[in-house]
Amino acid sequence: MDHWPHAPLHQITETGAYMVTAGTYQRAHFLSTDSKLALFQGLLFELADKYQWRLQAWAILNNHYHFLAISPESPESLRTMLRLLHSLSAQKINAMDQSPGRRVWFQYWDSLITYQRSYLARLHYVHQNPVHHGIVKDARDYQWGSASWFELNATPALVKTAQSFKIDRVKVFDDF
């Protein structure tokens, strides 16, 4: 199959856990206020629910985001969900900044997670992303990430297991 060699290839055909990362255009800090972060997080939650993607972890930062989610029976809906997430958030953020038509999102990367250890490492990675980028010292203190939610909603055994995975060797595009 021929594909554009300078963009990620999106082969979303199997059900399972997917990790998604997206960055803003030219790595600009378009999500630079609490109101913009809240707007984006609300849209993410709304669309994930609408398309039946069960969020497991998320981290929304000023110029990128990551999430880990379990697909519905038709994982192909991820493309539509992300297209809507990016177009609606860009329109609303641009309206807030009085910059109609400005490009906000650049690309997204997705990967099907096929091994439990890989899933657990990425779960921990997403929770710790605000710490990785130096925004907070404790991921549970970051309002736009899922670390505190995870600790409140997951079993203590799952929390302990996920936190035991080192994240320095996880291969995730995160050059932001």
Residue range 25-80, pLDDT digits in tens = 999 999 999 999 999 999 999 999 999 999 999 999 999 999 999 999 988 899 99
**Residues pairing with 24 in the sheet:** 105
pLDDT at 120 over 90: yes
Residue 52 lies in a domain: yes
Count how many Cα atoms sit within 13 Å of the Cα of residue 5 in the half-sphere of its side chain: 0
Q: Looking at residue 11, what is its pLDDT? A: 58
- Asked if residue 1 is part of any domain, the answer here is no
Q: What is the pLDDT of residues 87-113, one digit of tens each?
A: 999 999 999 999 999 999 998 898 999
CATH number, position 134 = 3.30.70.1290
- 12: in domain: no
Domain that holds residue 129: 17-163
- Is 169 within the bounds of a domain? no
Residue 7 forms part of a structural domain: no
By the 8 A CB rule, do 23 and 176 touch? yes
Of the candidate ranges 18-22, 62-66, 82-86, 110-114, the one whose mean pLDDT is the lowest:
110-114
Split into its structural domains, the chain has a count of 1
**Percent of the chain whose pLDDT exceeds 70:** 89
84 lies in some domain = yes
- Is position 107 within any domain? yes
